Each structure stands twice: as structure tokens, then as C-alpha cells.
């Protein structure tokens, strides 16, 4: 291992360079861990495979294809895109199996490259080409332990040490073969496997409770079986176009009108009725991003129903003074205003002090439960209204002026629904804590030299 004598200077012995495939200085400035019992990644791989590079669609045509966007923590979520350009034979070769580990191969954000998710059950979905699948040799390391190691601080350092960086960071299967993978005892691996399975049970419970809350909402509002089919041909009265000040055909899709009519049959109010105050974010410069400091919530951090802060960036505390009205507190709701518009999340008590970036609407509420409102916004009730307003542009955008007029139905079981959401959040927090516990055990085992 090179002697590091300063933050940016290393002394590397000539013998370390003999036969080396890496000569750039940065590689030797990033220390690797020291354990006696390890193998290179290539020795522990039983099988590796790239995903499909064919074009994907959002019209549910073809086969579901998982992307990095649908990694749900250390597990996989549900694909939002499909591919109708692969055959059933190709799909069957790409379908995910229990024990697979998906690894992010390339991304513009180096922090996401090398991120992994373990497949805990057979899943009827393929995966995209900027991911690759690894199946480890079970006799050497089980999938859950390898995934925890890859996502641990020490695993991340080893991955980052082997990244190839040009326009985008890249961590190919060939580079995976170069990383050090500690050999853990079978007893220790069994402990990690047990923790990860408990986390997965909580993860599944969280998703089930959330689904129950959404189903109860739609059932109470008599919207559960509403027809959301896309109609290729329909007629619109010119008077309606004048009233709406919209002439793009998509805005008048009958499916949108069916949702609006169903909402109006229930007790409802405009979103603006529940807004105590709001702000729409500040354009913080990427040059001001830090590794530590005040979390900056960006659009990619907002997932439906929760904040994903695994790749969060930070700003220095004094930068808050640039726009103090954009600081969030517990029970604020943040909503994306560009890209996937309308994705909403509640700020919980674990976030602490944070601030929102541009193109995010922050609303502080009155007279409504934050969890209930967030569920409404993320359900078909909110998403159909957001999609309707956001049609007509190359880059989907939406303004506060439009968003404040979203219709919010008020059902009689809103407190029961909010309680289910809170139970869902609690189960998700337990899953996260168990995964963190597993990471700490792996890191501790390595640092104490017992791996």
C-alpha cells in the first residue's frame, strides 16, 4: 500500500507499478483496506451480465425493465418503463432471479456508480444496460453479504478507487473483477443474511401498508375502478379551449375529465386552501456543493412518498442566507416542478435542517394532515391532474400558479389513511436501520482485521 504523506501526495514503490494496469496518481491516493483474507472480485463471480440497451417506453408496452431510478434503497422496486423491442427469449435471459445483485455501471454522478441492489425474490422484470448483474459463488460469499459490503463505506472506497472517470464515471464488470472482496466466515455471513432478510420483511410491509392506504383512499372516493384508458380520437368544444386557455389536444384527453368529475362528486377543496406559505427553491450553483454540510434537496431526491437521500449533496450553512424561505421543516411537503412533475414527499423529523433547490415547490400546511395530502398528490388523483397541466412542452414543467388549483378530495377515512401511511414510514425506517446495522457490522469486521 502506498505511503500517503499528504492529502494529495503519495509515495509509490516501483514494484507496485510492475504489471499495473492503472498509472494515474489518483488511483494510488485512494487508500484500500488492509485485510489478509480477501479475493479479487473476479474470483468470487459465478456469473455476470449486462442489461438491455434497447429503447424503453412509458406506455406499458412489452416487458418491464428495471433502471437505477427504481433501486429502492438496497433492494429493487417496480419498473416504470417497458421495452417492446426485445423477444421473449431475450427477456427470459435477462429476467431477475433471487440472489442476483444489480450494480450501476455508468452515470454522470460518480456517487451513484457502483451502487448495488440485491434481488431478494424472483422478479418478472429485465434490467437496463447501464446496470450489470452479478451472481457470486455461494461457496465464497452470499449475495446479501456482498451487497452490504459493496454499499458500505469501505466497499464504496474500493469501488471509487477502481472507477474510470471521463465524461461519465464507469465501473464495468472488468473493474468489478479488480476490487478486493474480504472473505467473511460462514457464521458471520449467516448473521448478515438474517439482518438483511429482516430488513426486507419490513421493506415489504412498508410497501403493503402504503398500498392499503392508497386502495382505501380510492375506494372511499369511488375512484378505484375509474377508466384511465388513452383515447386516440375525441371531440372538444371550442368554448372549453377558451376557458382553459389551452389548445394542445392531450390536455383534453377524456381520462383526465373522468378523474376530475369523480373528484367533484366528493367533498373537495383546492390545494391552495391548505397552503399556509410556500416557496419554489433557489438555484444553488453546483460549484457550491460539498460532501458535508446542510442537505440540499434536489428533484432527483424526491421519490413518490419519500425522500431518497443516498446521493444528496450539501451546501455550507451560510448559503442558507441566500434564500432562508426555502428551508424546510418537519411536515412540510416538497413537490417536483420539472421532469417527473408532481412527485411529492413529506419532510420527516429525521431530515433535520435542509433546503430546497430550484424547481421544487415547498408548501407549509394548514387544516390538513401532511401524510394524507402527500398520498393524494402521489395517487392517480394527483398524478392525473399534474400530468394534464404539464402536457404541451418538450421539458415537462409546471408552475405554482397551476399547482395551487389542484383539486384535493376529503374522504371520511382520512385519519385512518394517514395512520396507515405512518405505519408504512415506521416499517421503512426499521428496514433502513437494519441495513445500516448490517453495514456497521461489515465495516467493523474489516477494520478490526477479522475478515
CA distance 429 to 199: 9
The CATH code for residues 32-181 is 3.90.220.20
Burial 8-28 (b: 16+ CB within 10 A, else e): eebebeeeeeeeeeeeeeebb
Q: How many angstroms separate the CA atoms of 443 and 184, rounded? A: 11
* pLDDT for residue 19: 46
Which three cell numbers, joined as nine digits, stand for 292? 458535508
> Which DSSP category does 235 fall into?
-
- Ramachandran area for residue 64 (φ above 0: left; ψ -120 to 50: alpha; else beta): beta
- What is the distance between the alpha carbons of residues 82 and 67, in angstroms, rounded to a whole number? 10
Residue 284 has which C-alpha cell?
444553488
Query: What is the rounded distance in angstroms from the CA atom of residue 119 to the CA atom of residue 131?
Result: 13
Distance of alpha carbon 280 from alpha carbon 358, whole angstroms: 6
CA distances from 78 to 125, 229, 343, 367, 390 (A): 9, 21, 16, 33, 24
Domain spans of the chain, in order of start:
1-28, 32-181, 222-410
CB of 104 closer than 8 Å to CB of 115: yes
Q: How far apart are CA 74 and CA 51, in angstroms?
A: 19
**Sign of the four-CA dihedral 118, 121, 122, 127:** negative
How far is 267 from 250, CA to CA, in rounded Å? 27
Nearest partner of 136 among 150, 124, 153, judged by Cα: 150
| Half-sphere exposure in the Cβ direction for 270 (13 Å, CA) | 8
The SS3 call for residue 314 is strand
pLDDT attached to residue 129: 96
Same fold, 32-181 and 222-410: yes
Neighbours of 277 (CB within 10 A): 11
According to DSSP, the β-strands at 354-356 and 294-297 are parallel
How confident is the model at residue 429, as a pLDDT? 93
Q: What tens-digit pLDDT sequence spans the chain (451 residues)?
A: 444 444 445 565 655 444 445 555 554 455 566 667 899 999 999 999 999 999 999 888 999 999 998 999 899 999 989 999 999 999 999 999 999 999 999 998 888 999 999 999 999 999 999 999 999 999 999 999 999 999 999 999 999 999 998 888 999 999 999 999 999 999 999 999 999 999 999 999 999 999 999 999 999 999 988 888 877 776 667 656 655 667 677 888 889 999 999 999 999 999 999 999 999 999 999 999 998 999 999 998 998 888 888 778 999 999 999 999 999 999 999 999 988 889 999 998 888 889 999 999 999 999 999 999 999 999 999 999 998 988 555 557 889 998 999 999 999 999 999 999 999 999 999 999 999 999 999 999 999 876 6
For residue 270, what is the DSSP state? Answer: E
Tell me if residue 290 falls in helix, strand or coil: strand
pLDDT value, residue 361: 97
The half-sphere exposure of 387 on its side-chain side, counting CA atoms within 13 A, is: 17
Answer whether CATH 3.90.220.20 is correct for domain 222-410: yes
Amino acid at each position: 500500500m502506498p505511503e500517503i504523506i499528504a492529502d494529495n501526495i503519495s509515495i509509490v514503490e516501483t514494484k507496485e507499478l510492475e504489471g499495473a494496469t492503472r498509472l494515474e496518481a489518483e488511483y494510488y491516493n485512494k487508500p484500500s483496506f488492509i485485510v489478509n483474507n480477501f479475493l479479487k472480485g473476479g474470483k468470487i463471480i459465478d456469473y455476470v451480465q449486462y442489461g438491455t440497451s434497447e429503447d424503453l417506453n412509458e406506455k406499458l408496452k412489452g416487458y418491464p425493465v428495471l433502471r437505477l431510478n427504481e433501486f429502492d434503497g438496497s433492494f429493487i422496486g417496480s419498473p416504470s418503463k417497458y421495452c417492446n423491442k426485445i423477444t421473449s427469449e431475450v427477456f427470459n435471459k435477462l429476467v431477475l432471479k433471487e440472489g442476483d445483485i444489480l450494480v450501476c455501471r455508468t452515470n454522470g454522478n460518480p456517487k451513484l456508480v457502483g451502487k448495488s441492489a440485491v434481488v431478494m425474490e424472483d422478479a418478472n422484470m429485465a434490467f437496463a444496460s447501464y446496470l450489470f448483474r452479478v451472481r457470486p459463488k455461494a461457496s465464497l460469499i452470499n449475495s446479501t453479504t456482498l451487497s452490504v459490503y459493496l454499499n458500505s463505506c469501505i466497499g464504496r472506497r474500493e469501488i471509487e478507487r477502481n472507477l474510470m472517470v471521463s465524461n461519465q464515471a464507469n465501473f464495468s464488470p472488468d473493474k468489478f473483477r479488480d476490487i478486493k472482496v474480504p472473505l467473511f466466515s460462514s457464521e458471520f455471513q449467516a448473521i448478515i443474511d438474517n439482518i438483511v432478510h429482516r430488513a426486507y420483511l419490513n421493506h415489504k410491509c412498508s410497501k403493503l401498508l402504503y398500498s392499503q392506504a392508497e386502495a382505501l383512499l380510492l375506494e372511499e372516493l369511488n375512484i378505484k375502478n375509474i377508466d384511465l384508458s388513452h383515447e386516440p380520437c375525441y371531440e372538444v368544444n371550442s368554448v372549453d379551449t377558451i376557458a382553459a386557455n389551452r389548445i394542445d389536444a392531450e390536455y383534453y384527453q377524456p381520462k383526465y375529465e373522468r378523474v376530475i368529475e369523480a373528484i367533484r362528486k366528493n367533498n373537495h377543496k383546492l390545494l391552495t386552501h391548505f397552503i399556509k406559505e410556500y416557496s419554489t427553491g433557489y438555484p444553488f450553483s453546483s460549484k457550491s456543493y460539498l460532501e458535508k454540510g446542510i442537505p440540499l434537496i434536489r428533484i432527483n431526491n424526491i421519490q413518490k412518498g419519500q425522500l431518497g437521500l443516498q446521493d444528496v449533496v450539501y451546501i455550507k450553512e451560510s448559503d442558507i442566507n441566500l434564500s432562508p424561505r426555502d428551508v424546510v421543516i418537519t411536515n412540510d411537503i416538497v413537490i417536483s416542478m420539472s421532469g417527473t412533475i408532481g412527485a411529492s414527499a413529506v419532510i420527516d423529523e429525521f431530515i433535520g435542517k435542509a433546503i430546497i433547490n430550484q424547481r421544487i415547490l415547498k408548501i407549509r400546511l394548514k387544516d390538513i394532515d401532511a401524510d394524507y395530502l402527500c398520498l393524494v398528490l402521489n395517487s392517480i388523483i394527483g398524478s392525473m391532474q399534474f400530468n394534464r397541466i404539464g402536457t404541451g412542452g418538450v421539458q415537462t414543467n409546471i408552475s405554482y400558479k397551476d399547482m395551487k388549483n389542484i383539486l384535493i378530495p376529503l374522504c371520511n377515512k382520512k385519519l385512518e389513511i394517514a395512520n396507515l401511511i405512518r405505519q408504512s414510514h415506521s416499517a421503512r425506517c426499521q428496514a433502513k436501520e437494519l441495513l445500516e446495522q448490517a453495514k456497521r457490522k461489515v465495516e467493523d469486521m474489516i477494520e478490526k482485521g477479522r475478515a
